[in-house]
Amino acid sequence: MQDPGLLYVIAVLLPLASFLILLLGGKRLGIVAAYIATAAIGGAFVLSAIGLVRYAREGDLFTASHHEPAAGQDHGHGAAAPAEEPSGGHGTKDGTLVWKGQIRWAAFGHDVIRLGYAVDNLTVVMFAMVTLVATLIHIYSIGYMHEELHEPVHDPLAVEPGEPPLERPGRFPRFFTYLSLFCFSMLGLVLSDNIFLVFVFWELVGVCSYLLIGFYYERRSAYRAAIKAFVTNRVGDFGFLIGLAIIWTTLGTFNFEEIRAALADGKLTGALLTVAGLGIFCGCVGKSAQFPLHVWLPDAMEGPTPVSALIHAATMVAAGVYLVGRFFFLFSPTALLIIAMVGAITLFMAGTIAIVQTDIKRVLAYSTISQLGYMMLGLGVGGWLAGLFHLITHAFFKALLFMCSGSVIHAAGTQEMPQMGGLLKKMPITAITMLVGTLAIAGIPFFSGYYSKDAILAYALHFWQQAPQTGLYGVIAPTLFVLAVGGAAITAFYMFRLWFMTFVGKPRDHHVYEHAHESPPTMTVPLIVLAVLSWCAGYSFGLGQPVIELALQNGPAGQGFTAHPPHATHELAGTFALGAVIVGVVLAVIFYGVRLLSPDEVAAQFPRLYRFLWHKWYFDELYAAALVRPVLAFSRKVRAFDWNIIDGIVDGVAYWTARLASADGRFDFWIIDGIVNLVGEVTYWCGERLRWLQTGRIRQYIVFLVVGTVAVLALLFYVTTLFAR
Amino acid sequence: MSEAAIPLEGVLLVSAAMFVCGTLCMATKRNAVGILMGVELVLNASNLNFVAFARYTPFGLDGQMFALFGIVMPAAEAAIALAIILAFYNTHLTVDVDRASELKL
């Protein structure tokens, strides 16, 4: 192939083709729909793997450390690569290999919008991650969604107690239709070379998210969650549009590279640059469920579990982080500080909420929010590499965790952890793979999450050390690091709590326990694959640095952002993190593993704190009171105005028109018709009277004629004589 | 105008007599042909009047012209009337006009 970038274009179009086939095929396809969708995304994965290998070879992706060293910084990564390492001699310079193509889409005067794709190292890595996870989740879904193949499907959750049971047709093909559309949109988002196309795909993944959260739309909670997710994202996208508008009006282009070049020339600076960055970040806050727009993600768990794994854990919610990473050059230091603060608040808040939740998927949802907060924090403190590294590893272990929870829900028939317990014996594969995921997310050494989270903490500590020790920075910078370390402990605690409550201890609900069984191979095989990835995704494989970090830093995407913190800082941060994790794990073991202390008693000790956390920091209540209810009250007022005034006028006009018409009708009926009828009546009456003259006898007629003539003549004579006199 | 001329009153008297005869004929005859003959009498009475009055007008021969029309037109009329009578006879096997009252309501 001439242009290897076309590999990726085809890989994007495969799920679109699958979507169209499934859309046209509809219900008839049955399980074939799953095979088509899986084949399409599997094909995309194969293509992206080929692309990855080729890009790695041509772009020297895995050659250690040839990023530009920032002054006064120590690399500390064994590989003794000189700064100006010669390129591989394939005609590509280090850090410049981009496969790209464009079409001219629309012109406004001198400004032209060009749409195109650009494949750089960030795209390659994201693409490989998305296609891999998506393929595994497609396979997993064949098993998980199996009951949608039956006719009819009973949905006990869709009806209130006491209502008749709901029967509905299965929606197996529809699920895969949506999944294919999502894969297309997500891959397109990653491949786009301009922010405009990114925005289009951004909205498309939002639509897919909406459709899939509301997949069980008979359930009241599901459609409400879908609407909530959509509306919350609109709030974020409002900011996104403002950012787009600023970029277009000041720079006249949407292309990432052109924006980068224009910014390097100083065409957009100062407060406007900060506002543009914060606008774009606002969209990312919505999509990545950051504080204060995080409220939709926990509710989004109403969707089927594979959806939670694919869209609301691994890929779509990471799109916000991806965009911040992709657009990193846009953010001014102020914007970055705000990003870091939002990330830190998010990670801490979501972590504390996750401690007390009992719904297994909700715990994971808050954990996702928390981890996304880590990524934002990492990016905000300048750790471009760390944030995106964590994005990739998180995608693997969070997809794994969600799929394990799906396996548990599938087996146990409930999402409430207090009803589980002791499932380790019943479903060993799920339990072990979930343990791997838990270890990874908690940041236990030798699992992938350890490396990526360590990196973020190292950047946060480095930020603290570099920042001025006085003023605003002097307060914020340490707080960021402390929150991140505290978040690490909290993460370890709630994740082990989840695992212990689910898999060990005595079975708390015997019905659930009896019902539980290991899931079919279509579900367990993806779990195992992801478990392996979660375990080893952070390894360096003898290259001196984690391979994902290498892949990210040795390319054009992260030019200038990949400076590492000093080795000593890294070790110090790692020590803190490990200490925090150990504290978290030990506490979890005490409370939930061996049950030395009862969590209920602790909750009773701090009832206010417990209630605060149980109600998720009262965010939903706050939004309901501050936004939803005023809007509803205002709507009611407007409705009353509509009802009384506008409708009153319209109804009044109609009423008087009807009255007028009725009067007019009566006039017509009595006067006009009356005259016409009267003429007819009179004529008829005269005819009736004159009828007897028509005897039918000719001789009589002649007599009438004669008599009549004589009479007329006589009358004439009489009259003439009368007047003559 | 000669001395021996018949006075107008005499002509009108004859004409009136013819007219009354014709009218009575029409009013009394049940035979359709008889009625037709009555009609001819009435028309001829009027022709006589035309000719008689023509002498006393300044218009020349137009009275005579009208009399000619009054002779030709009844000829045509008689042809049609006879055709009607024949058609009537074909259906009713009689020419009695008192039997022709089907059109009466």
| DSSP category for residue A258 | H
More reliable by pLDDT, B97 or A719: A719
Residues of chain B found within 8 Å of residue A702, distances taken between Cβ atoms: 23, 26-27
Strands (E), A291-369: none
Phi, psi dihedrals of residue A309, rounded to the nearest 5°: -70, -45
Of B26, B97, B105, the CB nearest to A691: B105
In chain A, the percentage of residues whose pLDDT exceeds 90 is 40
**Contact status of B81 with chain A (Cβ, < 8 Å):** no
Measured distance CA(A625)–CA(A489) in Å, rounded: 33
Of A691, A696, A706, the CB nearest to B101: A696
Lowest mean pLDDT segment, chosen from A182-191, A429-438, A566-575:
A566-575
Instruction: Give the model's pLDDT for residue A561.
Output: 75
* Contact flag B97-A706 (C-beta cutoff 8 Å): no
Residues of chain A found within 8 Å of residue B98, distances taken between Cβ atoms: 697, 699
Measured distance CA(B84)–CA(A678) in Å, rounded: 41
Measured distance CA(B40)–CA(B21) in Å, rounded: 11
Query: What is the interface size between A and B, counted as CB pairs within 8 Å?
Result: 30
Residue A59 token pair: 């772009």
Residue A12 token pair: 């994007």
Of B27, B104, B105, the CB nearest to A699: B27
At A70, the pLDDT band (50, 70, 90 cuts) reads very low
Of A694, A699, A706, the CB nearest to B104: A694
Q: Under CATH, to which class is B8-103 assigned?
A: mainly alpha
For A377-392, how does the pLDDT look when each residue is reduced to its tens digit (9 = 90+)?
Answer: 999 988 888 899 999 9
Of A691, A694, A703, the CB nearest to B27: A703
For A473-519, how does the pLDDT look when each residue is reduced to its tens digit (9 = 90+)?
Answer: 888 888 899 999 999 999 999 999 999 888 887 787 787 788 788 88
Measured distance CA(A522)–CA(A429) in Å, rounded: 13
Interface test with A, best of B33, B39, B101 (most A CBs within 10 A): B101
At A129, the pLDDT band (50, 70, 90 cuts) reads very high
What is the 3 state secondary structure string of A475-498?
HHHHHHHHHHHHHHHHHHHHHHHH
Measured distance CA(A702)–CA(A705) in Å, rounded: 5
**Contact status of B35 with chain A (Cβ, < 8 Å):** yes
Sign of CA dihedral B36, B38, B41, B47: negative
Q: Which residues contact A11 (CB under 8 A, 6 or more apart)?
A: A43, A44, A47, A48, A51, A127, A131, A187
A64: pLDDT strictly greater than 70: no
For A6-49, how does the pLDDT look when each residue is reduced to its tens digit (9 = 90+)?
Answer: 888 999 999 999 999 999 988 888 889 999 999 999 999 999 99
Measured distance CA(A526)–CA(A371) in Å, rounded: 22
| DSSP category for residue A192 | B
**Contact status of B96 with chain A (Cβ, < 8 Å):** no
For B2-50, how does the pLDDT look when each residue is reduced to its tens digit (9 = 90+)?
Answer: 556 788 889 999 999 999 999 999 888 889 899 999 999 999 999 999 9
Instruction: Give the model's pLDDT for residue A278.
Output: 92
Minimal Cα–Cα distance from A659 to chain B, Å?
48
CA B10 vs CA A41, B38, B55: distances in Å? 131, 22, 14
Residues of chain A found within 8 Å of residue B101, distances taken between Cβ atoms: 695-697
Peptide bond into A152 cis (omega under 30): yes
Q: Which residues contact A85 (CB under 8 A, 6 or more apart)?
A: A63, A66, A94
Instruction: Give the model's pLDDT for residue B2.
Output: 52
Contact criterion met (CB below 8 Å) for A354 and A347: no
Of A697, A702, A703, the CB nearest to B98: A697
Instruction: Give the model's pLDDT for residue A558.
Output: 72
Residues of chain B found within 8 Å of residue A694, distances taken between Cβ atoms: 104-105
A74: pLDDT strictly greater than 50: no
CA angle A503, A397, A190 (to 5 degrees): 150
A556: pLDDT strictly greater than 90: no
Of B23, B35, B105, the CB nearest to A698: B35
A66: pLDDT strictly greater than 80: no
How many Cβ atoms from other residues are within 10 Å of residue A640's Cβ? 10
Instruction: Give the model's pLDDT for residue A366.
Output: 93
Instruction: Give the model's pLDDT for residue A284.
Output: 92
* Contact flag A697-B105 (C-beta cutoff 8 Å): no
Residue A626 token pair: 């501050």
Instruction: Give the model's pLDDT for residue A67.
Output: 44
Peptide bond into A292 cis (omega under 30): yes
Residue A444 token pair: 């236990």
A94: pLDDT strictly greater than 50: no
Mean pLDDT value across residues A320-332: 90
* Contact flag B97-A697 (C-beta cutoff 8 Å): yes
CA A102 vs CA A115, A197, A529, A679: distances in Å? 5, 12, 36, 85
A682: pLDDT strictly greater than 90: yes
A93: pLDDT strictly greater than 70: no
Instruction: Give the model's pLDDT for residue B3.
Output: 54
Interface test with B, best of A689, A691, A699 (most B CBs within 10 A): A699
At A654, the pLDDT band (50, 70, 90 cuts) reads very high
Q: Write down the H helix ranges in A214-268.
A: 220-251, 256-264
At A2, the pLDDT band (50, 70, 90 cuts) reads low
What is the 3 state secondary structure string of A286-317?
HHCCCCCCCCHHHHHHHCCHHHHHHHHHHCHH
**Contact status of B29 with chain A (Cβ, < 8 Å):** yes
Mean pLDDT value across residues A47-65: 80
Helix (H) or strand (E) holding A51: helix A32-58
A91: pLDDT strictly greater than 50: no
Interface test with A, best of B24, B26, B46 (most A CBs within 10 A): B26
Contact criterion met (CB below 8 Å) for A239 and A231: no
**Residue A27 pairs with which residues in a beta bridge?**
none
ipTM above 0.85, yes or no: no
For A226-241, how does the pLDDT look when each residue is reduced to its tens digit (9 = 90+)?
Answer: 999 999 999 999 999 9
Measured distance CA(A299)–CA(A320) in Å, rounded: 19
Of A694, A699, A706, the CB nearest to B97: A699
Minimal Cα–Cα distance from B7 to chain A, Å?
24
Mean pLDDT value across residues A286-295: 89
More reliable by pLDDT, A261 or A109: A261
Helix (H) or strand (E) holding A105: strand A99-108
How many Cβ atoms from other residues are within 10 Å of residue B49's Cβ? 22
A287: pLDDT strictly greater than 60: yes
* Contact flag A702-B97 (C-beta cutoff 8 Å): no
Of A696, A699, A706, the CB nearest to B103: A696
**Contact status of B60 with chain A (Cβ, < 8 Å):** no
Residues of chain B found within 8 Å of residue A696, distances taken between Cβ atoms: 100-104
- Relative to beta strand A167-168, strand A153-154 is antiparallel
Mean pLDDT of chain A: 86
* Contact flag A699-B105 (C-beta cutoff 8 Å): no
In chain A, the percentage of residues whose pLDDT exceeds 70 is 95
Comparing alpha-carbon positions, the chain B residue that sits nearest to A700 is: B27
At A393, the pLDDT band (50, 70, 90 cuts) reads very high
* Contact flag B26-A699 (C-beta cutoff 8 Å): yes
More reliable by pLDDT, A559 or A612: A612
Minimal Cα–Cα distance from A667 to chain B, Å?
38
Mean pLDDT value across residues A257-283: 88
A562: pLDDT strictly greater than 80: no
**Contact status of B30 with chain A (Cβ, < 8 Å):** yes
A78: pLDDT strictly greater than 60: no
What single letter denotes the amino acid at residue A358?
A: T
Comparing alpha-carbon positions, the chain A residue that sits nearest to B19 is: A706
* Contact flag B29-A699 (C-beta cutoff 8 Å): yes
B61: pLDDT strictly greater than 50: yes
